[in-house]
Amino acid sequence: MIQVPRGTQDILPKESYKWQFIEKKLHEIAKNYNYDEIRTPMFESTDLFVRAVGGSTDIVNKEMYTFQDKGDRSLTLRPEGTAPVARSYIENKMQHNVEQPVKLFYVAPMFRYERKQKGRYRQFVQFGVEAIGVEDPLIDVEILSMLMHIYQSFGLKNLKLVINSIGDIDSRTQYNKALVEHFSPRIDEFCHDCQTRIDSNPMRILDCKKDHDHELVKSAPRIYDYLNDESKAYFETVKAKLDELDIKYEVDYNLVRGLDYYTHTAFELMSDAEGFGAITTLCGGGRYNGLLEMIDGPAKTGIGFALSIERLLLALEAEGIDIPENKGIDIYVCTMTDQARDTAGTLLHKLRSRGVSADMDYENRKLKAQMKDADRKKARYTIVLGEDELQSSQAELKEMATGETKKLSFEEIINTLEEL
């Protein structure tokens, strides 16, 4: 039997209503912050991710789904959303838009070849936001405020926001030199990836999942001590505004994030809920001040974050928060004769065209079985069509919750349900 590919999942109707609920709320919150939706292709030029995400990252080296098309072009299923949005910003000349920053959001599947874990799949869905075109601590705070707003709007309480500053390019250069001096004498004690990163991107050693408990990681220099005055002032402004808004956070000087394009503010949101799992990160993001230039764009800066809907669902489950189920249909039409079934089909068409959700039995079952089916479908009302109803063009509209009935013409039934 052909099965779903490893690391992917079928989202069945008993679960898909949760996704619909979440996605609708995410769209509403994005609109409240004046972010507009963007939809980019599912695959892009491989070079986009190599240059933007970074050749030393696990994403590029280990996790990308890359293939040659029939024109012998190297393409990659998008592993993250920021680089495609940046590419679109450049290609569509959004830097010339009157309103800056350009504020965009997306809800889209991403693809990474990694070991399947709870809440992590090889195809997963991300909601992400990007504000491109302005460098201002207030934009950073807006992004962080929006992030907290999203999770709190679902009722989540066990949240921990962790922030750091990676500084500007000059600050990072000085800090990387200090890390090389710190790790080089004992780099052979680290994993192969870290031994490679010491030359290409030493900050990534601090983000290593295998060696995060190594004593040298714990005693590594703090990046804050290498920030220049401008970077420190920027970070202090972000923190002061978060304090003013009463948004709780912790500073973690080892937080560097996994992608090469981050500068200045970096952050992660974690779940402190009991039973959530060993991997507590819900989402992350940060500012990127050189990304567009890496892919031949203008010297424009941006900031954003991305969250996994799969992990959001896990967080809701860990805190015992239920998503409201579908309300069901407005009316279920029961039939007792073949002619009644034919009439029911016409009636359903009229109901649905007026915005009323309606269904009927298609298996020619007995009335009792049809009523049970109406219950399963959570029908708010039912009618029964038999010979008498067809002759009079009237039927009893029954409210299932109360048992109350009203005898109405077919047209009155349609008008009543449309008004309700």
Q: What pLDDT, in 10s, does the model give residues 143-181?
A: 999 999 999 999 999 999 999 998 888 888 888 899 999
Mean pLDDT of the chain: 92
How much is the average pLDDT of 75-100? Answer: 95
Q: Could you tell me the pTM of the whole model?
A: 0.87
Instruction: Annotate 237-273 with b (16+ C-beta within 10 A) or e (fewer).
Output: ebbebbeeeebebeeeebbbbebbbbbbbbbbbbbeb
CA 324 to CA 318: how far, in whole Å?
A: 16
pLDDT digits (tens, 9 = 90+) for 287-316: 998 889 999 999 899 999 999 999 999 999
Residue ranges of alpha helices (H) inside 9-136 are 13-32, 46-52, 58, 82-91
pLDDT digits (tens, 9 = 90+) for 359-391: 999 999 999 999 999 999 999 999 999 999 999
Residue 258 has pLDDT above 60, yes or no: no
Q: Which of 194-198, 229-233, 311-315 has the lowest mean pLDDT?
A: 194-198
* Per-residue confidence band for 141, with pLDDT thresholds at 50, 70 and 90: very high
How much is the average pLDDT of 28-36? Answer: 97
pLDDT at 129: 98
DSSP assignment letter at 93: T
Q: Which of 45-49, 51-55, 62-66, 254-258 has the lowest mean pLDDT?
A: 254-258
CA 207 to CA 176: how far, in whole Å?
A: 14
Residue 277 has pLDDT above 70, yes or no: no
pLDDT at 259: 62
